[in-house]
Amino acid sequence: MTLDDRSLHASTASHTDPTDDDATDSTHNNPATGAPETQSDTPQTARKRASLLREIVETLLLALIIFVAVRAVVLNFRVDGLSMTPSLEDNEMLLVNRNAYLSFDTWAFVDWLPFVEHDEQNIVHPFDPPERGDIIVFNPPVSNDSKPYIKRVIGLPGETVEARGGHVYIDGHRVDEPYLEGEETWCGSIQGVKQDCEAVTVPEGSVFVLGDNRDNSTDSRAFGIVDVDRIIGKAWFAYWPFDAVGIVPHYDYPELNESE
């Protein structure tokens, strides 16, 4: 009787012991290292990690493509100096449109043909060529200064620009420049006497530029006309400081348009 009771108790314990490792713990020892292993590195988890990595790479590549595309169209420029006050202030930050004056020679598409011969160019501007009143960033024709300048386009190809009596004239017509806030235009002074500027005819493919702060600007009065090929871009948008945020101002010179 006693022996039968022991057998019954032992059999019952073998089926109800809650501490059975095989039934309650999925962790087992690594046979190579003896360290515990888990079942976390499943094929599904590996696929999720690969998918996450792919998304990160795709996002970085997309960001790089967008950055390169934007840099191909616009660039940042910081106004250095007072030559464009009051229109632009020192240290003002601008976005410059690099493709505003994009141009190409249509003959370039057929020049490779052996029977095509021509001496002239046929330059086409998908947008617009430089216009009077545009504020441009360019590499100046000055040998001892490599930094870009920013000035306003005043004279266009074929026009004659001069300054006399403190005012600018285009083909004999006086230019109204309200952005100067009354400042006059001269070409230096001799013994205290202010000097007029000699007339300059702007050749094709060039522009005549002036700073808005005429008494503190090195411009076409000093270094002459500027080749269009030297233009980096057109000042488009001011984004710093906050009180200057907005489209860079442009003036249309209605008095000259009426005289044409």
Give the CATH number of the domain where residue 224 resides.
Answer: 2.10.109.10
What's the total number of domains in the chain? Answer: 2
Q: Widest CA span of the chain, in angstroms?
A: 138
58 and 135 fall within a common domain:
no
Is 259 in the active site? no
The residue-averaged pLDDT of 13-29 equals 45
Backbone angles phi, psi at 207, to 5 degrees: -140, 160
Distance CA 71, CA 98 (A): 9
Q: Comparing 190 with 143, which gets the higher pLDDT?
A: 190
Summarised one tens digit per residue, pLDDT across range 101-114 is 987 776 676 666 77
Summarised one tens digit per residue, pLDDT across range 200-212 is 999 999 999 999 9
Spot the catalytic one: 14, 48, 83, 147.
83
What is the pLDDT at residue 11?
A: 43
pLDDT-derived band at 65, boundaries 50, 70, 90: confident
**Cα distances (Å, whole numbers) of residue 189 to 71, 83, 173, 192, 224:** 43, 19, 24, 6, 18
Is 151 in the active site? yes
136 and 48 fall within a common domain:
no
The residue-averaged pLDDT of 75-100 equals 95
What is the pLDDT at residue 101?
A: 92
Q: Comparing 106 with 175, which gets the higher pLDDT?
A: 175
Which amino acid is present at 145? Answer: D
154 and 189 fall within a common domain:
yes
**β-strands 206-210, 149-155 pairing:** antiparallel
**Cα distances (Å, whole numbers) of residue 230 to 34, 173, 206, 225, 237:** 72, 28, 9, 11, 21
- Domain end call among 76, 97, 127: 76
Q: Comparing 125 with 242, which gets the higher pLDDT?
A: 242
Answer left, alpha or beta for residue 7, where phi above 0 means left and psi between -120 and 50 means alpha. alpha
Distance CA 175, CA 94 (A): 27
Distance CA 54, CA 148 (A): 42
Q: Is residue 100 part of a domain?
A: yes
Q: Is residue 246 part of a domain?
A: yes
Q: Is residue 25 part of a domain?
A: no
The residue-averaged pLDDT of 43-54 equals 85
64 and 95 fall within a common domain:
no
249 pLDDT higher than 60? yes
How many Cβ atoms from other residues are within 10 Å of residue 162's Cβ?
19
148 and 184 fall within a common domain:
yes
Please name which of 215, 198, 115, 214 lies closest in space to residue 162, comparing C-alpha atoms. 198
What is the pLDDT at residue 58?
A: 84
What is the pLDDT at residue 40?
A: 53
Mean pLDDT of the chain: 83
174 and 56 fall within a common domain:
no
244 and 255 fall within a common domain:
yes
Spot the catalytic one: 87, 151, 217, 234.
151
Q: Against a cut of 0.85, is the pTM above it?
A: no
- Domain end call among 53, 76, 99: 76
What is the pLDDT at residue 42?
A: 82
The residue-averaged pLDDT of 150-155 equals 98
Name the one residue in this structure whose structure tokens are 């490792």. Answer: 21
Q: Is residue 17 part of a domain?
A: no
Q: Is residue 12 part of a domain?
A: no
What is the pLDDT at residue 84?
A: 97
**Cα distances (Å, whole numbers) of residue 161 to 13, 25, 196, 200:** 111, 92, 12, 5
217 pLDDT higher than 90? yes
Name the strand (E) or helix (H) holding 77. strand 74-78
What is the pLDDT at residue 188?
A: 92
Q: Is the peptide bond before 148 cis (omega within 30 degrees of 0)?
A: no
- Domain end call among 76, 101, 125: 76
What is the pLDDT at residue 48?
A: 84
176 and 212 fall within a common domain:
yes
109 and 188 fall within a common domain:
yes
pLDDT-derived band at 70, boundaries 50, 70, 90: low
The residue-averaged pLDDT of 125-136 equals 89
| Lowest pLDDT segment from 34-43, 102-111, 115-124, 175-184 | 34-43
56 and 145 fall within a common domain:
no
Q: Is residue 34 part of a domain?
A: no
60 and 125 fall within a common domain:
no
106 and 127 fall within a common domain:
yes
Q: Is residue 15 part of a domain?
A: no
Q: What percent of the chain has pLDDT over 90?
A: 55
Structural domain harbouring 231? 79-259
Q: Is residue 7 part of a domain?
A: no
β-sheet bridge partners, residue 123: 105
The residue-averaged pLDDT of 122-137 equals 86
Distance CA 75, CA 95 (A): 6
Please name which of 190, 213, 188 lies closest in space to residue 198, comparing C-alpha atoms. 188
